[in-house]
Amino acid sequence: MFKTIATFLILTITLLSCKRQTSEQMTHKYTNDLINETSPYLLQHAHNPVNWKPWNDTTLKEAKDSNKLILISIGYAACHWCHVMEHESFEDSLVAQVMNKNFINIKVDREERPDVDQVYMNAVQLMTGSGGWPLNVIALPDGRPVWGGTYFRKEQWISALEQITKVYADQPDKLYEYAGKLEEGIKTIDVVQLNSDEPTFEINFIEEAVNQWSKGFDNSMGGMNRAPKFMMPNNLHFLLRQAYQNNDEKLQEYVNLTLTKIAYGGVYDHIGGGFSRYSVDAKWHVPHFEKMLYDNAQLVSLYSDAYLITKNPLYERVVKETLAFVNRELTDEDGTFFSSLDADSNTPEGELEEGAYYVWTKDELQSLLKEDFDLFSDYYNINNYGLWEKGNYVLIRDESDAEIMEKFKLSTDKLEDKLSTFKSQLLEVREKRSRPRLDDKVLTSWNALMINGYCDAYRVFGNANYLQVALKNANFILNKQLRPDGGLDHNFKNGKSSINGYLEDYAATIQAFLNIYENTLDQKWLENARNLTNYAFDHFFDDKTKMFFFTSDEDSSLVTRSMEYRDNVIPASNSIMAKNLLKLSHYYDNDAYHKTSITMLNNVKPTISEYPSSFSNWLDLMLNYADNYYEVAIVGEEVDQKIKELNSHYLPNKLIIGSSTENDLPLLKNRYVEDRTLIYVCVKKACKLPVSEVDEAVKLIAD
């Protein structure tokens, strides 16, 4: 229904374009209301001739008072096509004249306001069947959307705006009628019904979901059998666990093929470390060059666990180089993590171009590497396989180190030395180029994901510096983002915390604090995780569905109050919360947490089989209920050493709790024995006899 009506509107609005005189680009500097914002994305638009305003109650009231249509344009700082549309349309004085005359124009940073983005993205997907950024929506003065799309060329954009202005002037009832129907549709998208069926979680259900999912696997190049290709780290993390926990050799091969091809691909930065957001092709070669904090955080966790299982040195290299990149380019002096690096940067000629910072010409490489060029060229395919466009190469591998060593008669140490020299040499040259723009806002949720990355790398590789980085950032969240009322702020910039936190902030921060607890046994992190959970129950929980809303009950209302439950590039905030509640129910013997976690999982279960890849984090949680989930309690003076030994084993179906002294936590109470360190392995409220050695405990879990 929505697509039919939307098609009529789109045809009415966008296909009536006519020839126009091309206006000159603005010749002088404008300033609009975005000049007072802190978001780098909004500040990029602060000098457009468009009279942009930020999303806030004042702006929305102005729209209602003036009875003008609202034009909502949503993007983010690292978005290439957002920059293109800005240059073609929003910097153009004729376009600005049309926009300023007829609309209240609002620019939104989707990373600052994921709630706003979610509502209008759902609307555009209902109207057109697809979405993306830039996201451009026309709404009535009350905020209800009536038309939208993504990127528009200048002439198409002007025509669309003029036509919808005409419809609003001549036939406003049609827009109001359509807005009402669309509003009903939007409200049905992200709503979960309470599932009254008895919860049953079985391995067979999970295996059937994976079997259906596997029909889309690319068993040649890894990932899904399509282009573009996104890494989807949470999907791979679940599949990794499912494969190894259940001895599925075929799935193991697929996961390791995918991880290897990604690490070989141009989507991985072989010179500076770190990952771009996705590749535009099927072989992971040419990335969309922006680098996002959330991708790199989750991929560090993924490759760390993959190394723990396989001991593949490629995975270790990826983790260490990615964390070096994060430290070098996305970390502030105060220990906070920045959001992203732009896809675009200036060429030597001063033209803004996607990927300019990262690509190389053959002549440039030959001049820099001299007699080592042949080795480099073979290793990174400076040939037709690695050629991109305009004579530029994106580095990509298609052979293992062993194959290269045999071909060039090199030892392992010699090849490592060569690679290290190549990378340092080219990085030094690259850093003299015009750098991609940095989005230096700090988001609580994304920082928490990076805490997890550092904690997981510490757990696997034992580098104490990784833990210190995680602790520094976690203390920043406690000291700066946690308010006196117990709630979190979402954003931090220029020394100021702002924007009331979303469920994603609570879910990711609780998860990160639990991770820190399991690595340090410092109980303050456990207590803060519990406190944030209770705050989330107070302000986000829906008693009817037993799920959590994305926005707080203290936030201004939008068209709808949605629930994020489908896992995407970042797992859904509800699935993270459900996993947190499972752990906290064990730590505090809290039956309410336990029942809520089960109910949440049961609510989404009917939908999982329809599209399993959108529920990978839920499936990971289901593994904990379908199979044994172990509590490992370690008590005694040698607790820290025992935990390090335990962490050298891949045991995803367990939680760790411990203390060097007497402790009143339910799993530790009355378990301290002087001059001994004992390990208690418990499952389903029953404990095996305590053991002294980690190997014995591992056997109890493995049996």
**CATH number of the domain enclosing 543:** 1.50.10.10
Is 194 domain-assigned? no
Q: Give the three-state DSSP class for 318.
A: helix
Is 496 domain-assigned? yes
Is 525 domain-assigned? yes
Helix 203-214 vs helix 616-626: angle between axes, to the nearest 10 degrees? 150
Q: Give the three-state DSSP class for 632.
A: strand
Are 213 and 162 found together in one domain?
no
Q: Name which of 504, 541, 548 is nearest 115 in CA terms.
A: 504
The CB-based long-range contact list for 33-40 (8 Å cut-off, 24+ gap) reads: 34/107, 38/441, 38/491, 38/493, 38/494, 38/496, 38/498, 39/77, 39/109, 39/111, 39/112, 39/441, 39/493, 40/77, 40/437, 40/438, 40/439, 40/440, 40/441
Name the helix (H) or strand (E) containing 341: strand 340-341
Rounded distance between C-alpha atoms, residue 598 and residue 576, angstroms: 13
Residues 564/490, Cβ–Cβ less than 8 Å = no
Is 662 domain-assigned? yes
pLDDT given for residue 702 in this prediction = 82
Are 474 and 413 found together in one domain?
no
pLDDT given for residue 703 in this prediction = 73
Q: Name which of 626, 606, 698 is nearest 238 in CA terms.
A: 626
Rounded distance between C-alpha atoms, residue 119 and residue 200, angstroms: 33
Burial, 351: exposed, middle or buried (Cβ in 10 Å; 0-12, 13-18, 19+)? exposed
Residues 304/457, Cβ–Cβ less than 8 Å = yes
Are 620 and 637 found together in one domain?
no
**Around 218, how many Cα atoms within 13 Å sit in the side-chain half-sphere?**
21
Are 584 and 645 found together in one domain?
no
Q: How many CB atoms lie within 10 A of CB 179?
A: 20
Q: How many CB atoms lie within 10 A of CB 14?
A: 18
Number of domains in the chain: 4
Farthest CA pair distance, the chain = 87
Identity (one letter) of the amino acid at 247? N
Last residue of a domain, one of 596, 626, 656: 626
Are 417 and 487 found together in one domain?
no
Are 103 and 132 found together in one domain?
yes
Are 163 and 27 found together in one domain?
yes
392 forms beta bridges with 361
Last residue of a domain, one of 129, 160, 189: 189
Phi, psi of 658 (to 5 degrees): -170, 170
What residues contact 670, with CB distance under 8 A and at least 6 apart?
Answer: none
Rounded distance between C-alpha atoms, residue 581 and residue 577, angstroms: 6
Are 424 and 326 found together in one domain?
no
Q: How many CB atoms lie within 10 A of CB 663?
A: 19
Last residue of a domain, one of 408, 432, 456: 432
Is 167 domain-assigned? yes
Is 349 domain-assigned? no
Is 512 domain-assigned? yes
Are 184 and 213 found together in one domain?
no
Are 665 and 616 found together in one domain?
no
Q: Name which of 539, 670, 617, 631 is nearest 301 in CA terms.
A: 617
Are 259 and 330 found together in one domain?
yes
Is 350 domain-assigned? no
**Dihedral angle sign, alpha carbons of residues 155, 157, 162, 164:** positive
- 10-residue averages of pLDDT along the chain (703 residues): 46 37 47 95 96 96 96 94 94 96 97 96 91 95 95 94 95 94 87 93 97 97 96 97 96 98 98 97 96 98 98 98 98 97 91 93 97 97 96 97 96 96 97 95 98 98 98 98 98 96 98 98 98 98 97 93 95 98 97 98 95 97 96 96 95 96 94 94 91 95 82
pLDDT given for residue 15 in this prediction = 36
**Straight-line distance from the first to the last Cα atom of the chain, in angstroms, rounded to the nearest whole number:** 55
Are 42 and 149 found together in one domain?
yes
pLDDT given for residue 25 in this prediction = 41
**Domain that includes residue 375, residue range:** 358-432
Which tokens in the block code for residue 478? 């406690």
pLDDT given for residue 7 in this prediction = 45
Which tokens in the block code for residue 261? 């091809």
